[in-house]
Structure formats: C-alpha cells, structure tokens
C-alpha cells in the first residue's frame, strides 16, 4: 500500500536521491545535503507544532509500505514572502495606440514583483519515473490539500504553486541564458541553490528595476515565457483539476508559470468530508477514495476503497493500520 506520511531527519538519504533525480530547475530540491537536512528538521518541527504557524514547511513522503521504498515527495509551505521576499515577474500588457496612424500595439513587459507575500504554497511534487502512473502522483498531490483541509486555519486564504520552466534536453535554460543571466552573472545551479538557502538579498541587489520589453528578447527566450517543463505537464493538469489557474506571474530564473487558487476553493479541500471510522473487509465500492487523518500532527493519507454511510466510513483494517486510526476516530474522505 502507498502511504503519504510526514518527512523527518531520517529521510535524508531518500530526499537527496529524489533531489538528484529531479534534475535542474527544481529549486525546492537542491542537491545539497546540508540544506536538505535543515528542511527535514523544519518539517519535523512543523508537524510537531514547534515553530510559529506561518514559518511551517510540511514535507510529505510517498512510501510503499510493502517494500519501505520512498518514491516521491510533496510539500506545503504555510506562508511565503514574509521573512524572505517571494519574487516573480508579472507579465503585463501595455496597450499603446496612435489614432492618427491607425496603429494599436500591445507591448508585453516583465515587471519584478513581490505580490504573493503571506500566501501558502504547494510544491516540491516529484515522483520517481516508475511511479508516474497508476494514481500515485494524484495521491501525493491531493494529500497536500488534505493536509490543508485538516486544519485550514493554519494556512493562508490564497494558495499558489510554481511550475518548473522549460529546459533543453542538455540541461540548458533558454530564459536563464538569454535574460536572467544578464542580471545574475553566475551559473544557474548557483542561483538556484542561493534562492533556497539564503535570504535572497542577492536578488534584491541585482534584479532589474525597470520593465523588460518582451519584444526585445531573443526568440528562444520569448518562446518559453509561461511554459511548463515537459515533466511538469502532469503536475499542471493535476493543479488545474483542483481549480488552480495561471495568474500572470512567472519565475524570474526559468520563466515557468505560477498558478493560484483560493484555499477554500481547492476542490479536495472543499469536497473532503470528516467521517467516523468503522472497520470492515467486505467493501462494495467500485473506485477507491482518498482518506487521511484529520490533524496535521498525525497526518497520513492513503487511497483505498471505502463504504460511506451517513456520517461514518468503513475502511479495511490494513488501511486503518496505515493511517494509525481505530474505530470511532475521525478521518477525512474525498471520493
């Protein structure tokens, strides 16, 4: 059975493996053991309620209970942009016209902004290649929303997600090479690492202060603005199915798009029901449901067939063991 559970310091080797497999541009998974150790320590403290709610960063692992293998990761940040700026480029349309010439033009510009301060963020969604089928990705992605729905007051009213931008097969990033690198004279990997491990002061120091006219950029850069890395297309589809929409913001390094949704409008947050557990093995449902615990501290999630009757839900004993719940406990269920 696949289980989504909290990550902690003991998961360092697994997280480092996933970081290496994720490849370039995955800012939240740097190939840096020290940074990942700090992240796992913060995750453990977050689940235990040992940090202020707005500083919490919950990291989730997808574990195969039969083999013990760790096959994926997802995360939720309670807030972004409060202690460290959360920079993006906003793609702005500037309409100009000359009635005397009969000319009307739309000049698009990229403007540096910090608009999402105080929002929550879902991110770090990554699975090993052999798990990208059979519903594992959906389980991991939706588990983040079940976590939010368990205690929504611990998260912001608005939730965003950043998607990785386009990279060529040889690892080059067109937007970085033609645009961002002009302002940040370093390797992409170094900028990527510093984004996740510093206070981002270097961005404030070096980022462009004035709008960048898109028409003046080389075609390879223009072509990838707001586009998703091929590996991120399934993640984009999952986000859209939950109600997330493109909001006109793109990443300042790779130009990948940002999507957002109101917390209470996220489909899984909105539709999951709190039900009382009953145990049984003769489950008649045709399709499995997403089932999670109803608190952050003890969060776990699985996908399993259930029977819902009134305010109760019958689940198999192995699912109850995976969730660490018993008869009479409350779980959240999304059919």
Residue 230 — left, alpha, or beta (φ > 0 → left; ψ -120 to 50 → alpha)?
Answer: alpha
Q: Sort strands 158-162 and 212-213 into parallel, antiparallel or unpaired.
A: unpaired
pLDDT, one tens digit per residue, over 155-178 is 999 999 999 999 998 889 999 999
Q: Sort strands 245-250 and 88-98 into parallel, antiparallel or unpaired.
A: antiparallel
The set of residues, in sequence order, having a beta carbon less than 8 Å from that of 217 and lying 6+ positions away, is 178, 179
229 catalytic, yes or no? yes
Cβ–Cβ under 8 Å, residues 103 and 97: yes
Closest CA to 1 of 329, 331, 335, 316: 316
Cβ–Cβ under 8 Å, residues 46 and 39: no
174-to-131, 179, 220 alpha-carbon distances in Å: 29, 8, 6
The C-alpha atoms of residue 5 and residue 27 are separated, in whole angstroms, by 22
The C-alpha atoms of residue 210 and residue 94 are separated, in whole angstroms, by 14
Q: Which of 14, 178, 181, 229 is catalytic?
A: 229
The C-alpha atoms of residue 174 and residue 191 are separated, in whole angstroms, by 15
pLDDT, one tens digit per residue, over 133-160 is 888 999 999 999 999 999 999 999 999 9
pLDDT exceeds cutoff 90 at 221 = yes
- Considering the entire predicted model, what is its pTM? 0.91
Residue 70: pLDDT band by 50, 70, 90 thresholds?
very high
Mean pLDDT of the residues in the chain? 93
Closest CA to 160 of 262, 83, 89, 271: 262
């Amino acid at each position: 059975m696949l289980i989504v559970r909290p990550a902690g310091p003991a998961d360092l080797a697994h997280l480092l493996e996933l970081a290496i497999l994720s490849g370039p541009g995955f800012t939240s998974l740097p190939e840096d053991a020290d940074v990942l150790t700090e992240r796992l320590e913060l995750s453990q403290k977050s689940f235990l309620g040992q940090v202020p709610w707005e500083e919490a960063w919950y990291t989730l692992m997808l574990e195969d209970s039969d083999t013990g293998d760790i096959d994926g990761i997802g995360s939720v940040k309670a807030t972004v942009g409060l202690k460290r700026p959360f920079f993006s480029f906003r793609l702005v349309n500037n309409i100009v016209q000359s009635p005397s010439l009969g000319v009307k033009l739309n000049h698009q510009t990229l403007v540096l902004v910090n608009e999402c301060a105080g929002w929550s963020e879902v991110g770090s969604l990554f699975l090993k290649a052999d798990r990208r089928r059979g519903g594992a990705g959906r389980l991991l992605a939706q588990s983040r929303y079940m976590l939010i729905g368990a205690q929504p007051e611990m998260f912001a009213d608005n939730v965003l997600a950043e998607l990785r931008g386009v990279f060529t097969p040889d690892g080059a990033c067109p937007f970085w090479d033609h645009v961002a690198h002009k302002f940040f004279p370093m390797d992409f990997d170094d900028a990527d690492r510093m984004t996740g491990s510093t206070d981002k002061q270097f961005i404030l120091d070096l980022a462009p202060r004035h709008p960048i006219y898109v028409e003046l950029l080389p075609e390879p850069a223009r072509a990838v603005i707001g586009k998703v890395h091929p590996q991120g297309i399934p993640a984009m589809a999952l986000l859209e199915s939950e109600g997330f929409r493109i909001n006109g913001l793109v990443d300042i390094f790779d130009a990948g798009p940002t999507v957002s949704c109101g917390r209470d409008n996220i489909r899984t947050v909105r539709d999951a029901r709190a039900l009382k557990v009953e145990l049984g093995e003769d489950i008649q449902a045709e399709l499995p449901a997403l089932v999670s615990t109803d608190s952050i501290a003890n969060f776990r999630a699985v996908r399993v067939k259930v029977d819902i009757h009134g305010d109760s839900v019958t689940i198999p004993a192995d699912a109850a063991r995976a969730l660490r719940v018993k008869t009479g406990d409350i779980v959240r269920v999304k059919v």
